[in-house]
Structure 1
Amino acid sequence: MRYPAYQRLIDPARPHPQLWRLVAGLVLTGAVYLLLLLGLFSLDLASGLQVSGGGLGRTPASAFALLASFVCVFPGLWLALRWLHLRKMRTLFGPARAMWRDGARVALVAVLLYGVSLLLPGPDAVEPQANLPLSTWLLWLVPGCLALAVQITAEELVFRGYVQSQLAARFASPLAWMVLPALLFGALHYNPAEAGDNALWLLLPAIAFGLLAADLTARCGNLGPALGLHFLNNFAALLVIAPGEAMSGLALFQLPLEMDDPGLRAHMPVEIALLFVLWLGARLALRR
């Protein structure tokens, strides 16, 4: 499988492709993120805001804070790129004009397909329930979208931008630079404390998304498609219909399912199939 356009994202990684640099960069990025996150958490407690009150991610303020906290990823990633790879963060995005163009095309396809999917009944005909009053949802819509943009940009820069390009500079086979970041992306969604026996099953959609986003990134040579697809995917799950109470604070509706509900497994094939259809639609939209 050839990805000629992807060379523009691999080239900045070629001077320093050593695996130890990548591992050290991820450790540095994670350490700075955790330190800054602890600082923000301490500030929250000291100020008495208690945005996590009522359940972490289950109120608009706490869900917004959790998404916005991904801004703490950027300083560590910047340091890792500058100190260990001698490259700039903008080299992770690809050409700006192509990124915005391709991202807009994929986002439009995702809006249309997600809109159609909302009209279709899910497994066992589970009906969404009202979560936030419409006035409250509208009040938080713009801040929620901005925080969501921070979250998905941080994740795409780390996985499809940083990890994938550095692995691609080291290994020629897509099995290495597509599969490994997708598995790592999925592993970070492992949450046995809340998901129980469903924890491993819930990794499958995340891994599938990682593989499809990796392919779109390599095909276009920029992060636009992955950013567009990631934003619409998370918008649907976090701001429109939340699958259960976890991270439901900004959602207009909520499915009456918890992460450890055995019935949730029936939704996995549907979610993966929808991602596959989105990927096919994105590929069609990106054809020159």
Structure 2
Amino acid sequence: MFLEQAIKPENHFVKYILGLFIIFLASLIGQIPLLVAIQYKTMNSDMASPVTQEDLFKVFDSNIMLVLMLLSFVFVLVATLLVVKYWHRQPVLTIITSRKKIDWKRILFSFSIWGFLTTFFLVLSYWMEPSNFIINFEWKPFLILVVVGVIFIPIPTTAEELVFRGYLMQGFANWVPNRWFPLLMTSLVFGALHFYNPEVAKTGNVIMIYYIGTGLFLGILTLMDEGTELALGFHAANNLFGALLVTSTWTAFQTHSVLKAIGEPSLIWDILVPVLIIYPILLSIFNLKYGWKSWKEKLTGKLFLNK
């Protein structure tokens, strides 16, 4: 089973803390190209100091900025895989799935259903309140965005899922051998790391409900399905379709998307509805397709040492 396969006497939680420190250092190294680019632009432009994210999107093409922002996740992903293989001495597959190999059909199904629903909800929002959007579409930069998005966006989403729903969830399971504690802790940490996103400054701390709720949803997917495939597909679709379809001046990714949102974010529709309505519906759909059983045991049960 997914968590049990990492429960070993030698996998002390301190070992995971050191592993996370290595991953964090890799992230810092990956940010060097962005920092160098910012320094160069600051020295050769009239940008004030400190530089805001809005300033950066004024002097960098958004496709270039997107690549620079996502580059550090390449280092995070590589570091995570190396830490698992050489520091914990366990197969990389063990932080991805409990199956004998990665189930790509699960990833594709989750990606497809959330991509479809994301598109549907955006079309519905535009139909109901067209004044909240302006057409942002330009063929050339959009096609470049498609290529950049397809290549680069799955890297950070995969890195985040393998760190949070894979490595860190198994780490907390080695500390407290049950299922609810890793689920809760990874959801809280996942939400906390989004605290400095520009969306928080725009909407206020209430958006943490969305971030923590999304982490909880992805954690439930992982525990019920005994692997990260469904979470990987959902997360990739969420970020890719979001980048391609709609942007705004206050989101983390500002892209050459089809639409640009100019209205104010809604507490009900943008935060509460996804967490309280859409995510439970998605869980029901996955439950029907994959025939999940023993919900209480899989989400709150005890774990046993893998000898």
Does residue 16 (structure 1) correspond to residue 7 (structure 2)? The answer is: no
When residues 12 and 192 of structure 1 are mapped into structure 2, their CA distance, relative to the original with a 3 A threshold, is closer
Residues 282 and 112 (structure 1), Cα distance of their counterparts in 2 relative to 1, 3 Å cut = farther
**Structure 2 match to 1:89:** 92
Q: Name the counterpart of 2:267.
A: 265
Matched-pair contact (CA < 8 Å) for 2:190–2:211: yes
1:253 pairs with one of 259, 262, 284: 259
Query: Take 1:10 and 1:81, find their aligned partners in 2: how far apart are those partners?
Result: 15
Where does structure 2 lack aligned partners over 5 or more consecutive residues? Answer: 46-54, 293-307
1:65 pairs with 68, 77, 97, which one? 68
Q: Secondary structure at the match of 1:205?
A: helix
Alignment partner, residue 233 of structure 1: 238
**SS of equivalent to 2:153:** helix
Counterpart for residue 166 of structure 2: 161
Deviations 1:126-172 (A, max 9, x none): 63222241332123202212111111011011001100122224323
SS of 1:129's equivalent in the other structure is: strand
Question: Partners of 1:96 and 1:57 in 2: how far apart?
Answer: 44
CA RMSD for the aligned pairs? Answer: 3.2
Could you tell me which runs of 5 or more consecutive residues in structure 1 were left unpaired when the two chains were aligned.
Answer: 1-6
Tell me the amino acid that sits aligned with residue 80 of structure 1. Answer: V
Count, aligned residues: 277
Does structure 1 residue 113 correspond to structure 2 residue 107? Answer: no
Contact 2:19–2:83 at 8 Å: present in 1 too?
Answer: yes
Change (3 A) 1:180 1:164: same
Q: Give the match's secondary structure for 1:178.
A: helix
How far is 1:197 from its partner?
Answer: 6.8
Distance 1:69 1:31, change over 3 A: closer
Aligned counterpart for 1:207 among listed residues 189, 212, 215? 212
Cα distance change, pair 252–67 in 1 and its aligned pair in 2 (3 A) = farther
Assess, with a 3 A threshold, how the Cα gap between structure 1 residues 287 and 134 changes in structure 2: closer, same or farther: farther
Structure 2 counterpart of 1:27, one-letter code: F
Flag the 1:150–1:128 CA change in 2: closer, same or farther, 3 A: same
| Structure 2 Cα separation of the partners of residues 87 and 24 of structure 1 | 16
- Report Cα offsets for 1:186-209 as digits up to 9, x if no partner: 111112766337342222212111
Counterpart-to-counterpart distance in 1, 2:204 and 2:100: 37
2:26 maps to 1:32: yes
CA-CA distance at 1:228 after TM superposition: 0.6
Q: Deviations over 1:17-45 (max 9, x none)?
A: 32211222112211221123225533775
TM-score (norm 2): 0.77
Please give the secondary structure, in 2, of the residue aligned with 1:172. coil
Moved more, 157-166 or 55-64: 55-64
TM-superposed CA distance for 1:96, in Å, is: 6.4
Amino acid at match of 1:87: Q
Match of 2:247 in 1: 242
Residues 235 and 277 from structure 1, CA distance in 2 versus in 1: closer, same or farther, beyond 3 angstroms?
farther
Q: CA deviation at 1:210?
A: 1.1
CA–CA separation in structure 2 for the residues paired with 1:116 and 1:194: 22
Q: Does the 8 Å contact 2:63/2:148 carry over to 1?
A: no
Q: Distance in 2 between matches of 1:56 and 1:26?
A: 34
- TM norm structure 1: 0.82
Q: Is the 8 A contact 2:96 2:102 kept in 1?
A: no
Residue 295 of structure 2 aligns with which residue?
A: none
Cα displacement (A) at 1:75: 3.6
2:177 corresponds to which residue? 172
CA distance, structure 1, for counterparts of residue 70 and residue 287 of structure 2: 29
Q: What is the distance in 2 between the residues matched to 1:253 and 1:70?
A: 26
Q: Distance in 2 between matches of 1:104 and 1:192?
A: 28
